[in-house]
Amino acid sequence: MKAGFVAIVGRPNVGKSTLLNRLLGQKLAIVSPKPQTTRGRILGIVNRPAAQAAFLDTPGLHTAKGGLNARMVQQALQTLSDADVALFLIEAGSPAIDSATRKALSQVTAARKPTLLVINKIDALPRTALLPLIDRWKDLHAWTEIYPLSALTGENVDGLFDALLKYLPEGEPMFPAGQWTDLSERDLCAELIREQILRQTEKEVPYSTAVVVEEFDESERAVGPRGLVRITASVLVERDSQKAIVIGKRGARLKEIGTRARVEIERLLGAKLFLQLHVRVEPGWTQSAKGLRRAGYEE
């Protein structure tokens, strides 16, 4: 039996969360077109007859000056340090490598972990361009494997587990066979609400918002064919102008966020949902320890 932790790392927006969801066969990590969607370590557990891999989705490695962004990068590096194997994701595209990607690679190299180079989004790249891309990257690090795939379409994903299996340590399963994450339903619901904020707002607003579930009432969950869960959540923003954007004209945007989040949460919970959202201004919460704790990003 083999069992171990696999850190999924890379620059923002290279498809780490999409890959985790594809490996699990269900949605765990929220996904949006915006970089830095993932803010913390997200654990997804995949079981096979002779192996258990605990995949750890991480925030994108980027230059951070403080506050929430610095905490995100620190958590990604800590997760990498604790893992048995790393998957370093890049986008299939130009062979050119920018300075930010080189810095991310240097952070992975410093961790001294068996590392697979995963070239994602090959569905968007002509096959003739794939070999030059591999050739550009193959000597930049002592990769254990170079593995092209498309997390979005699923192309070539099936064999990834087998490719990394040989680098996992021998050992008994770390989690019960039926467990697929360590996140609570409460936390998953908060993330699904935040996903819709990311999708429905623009510019600086998505990065200045957090979602705190204030009430998670399951008392009627077993009543009727699908039951009912009641959730009250606060959307934290940093300025009054951001509050106005999230709420929208006559509350239209907040209503749309709630409607779309409700669909995802009902699918997750297998129950009907009564959802109440409130928007509250917490000035500078992304830059203060108190604000980060209030938003659930600090112990």
pLDDT of amino acid 295: 87
Structure-block tokens of residue 200: 């429905």
In a domain, 176, yes or no: no
Structure-block tokens of residue 44: 């997804």
Whether residues 160 and 28 share a domain: the answer is yes
Question: What's the whole-model pTM score?
Answer: 0.90
Burial (0-12, 13-18, 19+ Cβ within 10 Å), 184: exposed
- The three-state secondary structure class of 26 is coil
In a domain, 177, yes or no: no
Burial (0-12, 13-18, 19+ Cβ within 10 Å), 83: buried
pLDDT of amino acid 119: 96
Ranges under pLDDT 50 in the chain: none
CATH of the domain at 150: 3.40.50.300
- The three-state secondary structure class of 34 is coil
Whether residues 159 and 235 share a domain: the answer is no
Whether residues 97 and 220 share a domain: the answer is no
pLDDT of amino acid 130: 92
pLDDT of amino acid 68: 84
Whether residues 72 and 207 share a domain: the answer is no
Whether residues 194 and 238 share a domain: the answer is yes
The whole domain housing 159 covers 2-165
pLDDT of amino acid 241: 95
pLDDT of amino acid 98: 84
Whether residues 53 and 132 share a domain: the answer is yes
Q: Which of 136, 165, 194 is the last residue of a domain?
A: 165
Whether residues 153 and 200 share a domain: the answer is no
CATH of the domain at 284: 3.30.300.20
Q: Work out the number of other CB atoms within 10 angstroms of the CB of residue 281.
A: 13
Whether residues 158 and 224 share a domain: the answer is no
How large is the C-alpha radius of gyration of the chain?
A: 20
Alpha carbons 222 and 220: distance in angstroms, whole number? 6
CB 267 within 8 A of CB 195: no
pLDDT of amino acid 256: 97
Alpha carbons 186 and 213: distance in angstroms, whole number? 7
Produce one character per residue of 22-39: b if its CB has 16 or more CB atoms within 10 Å, e if not.
bbbeebbbbbbeeebbbb
pLDDT of amino acid 269: 94
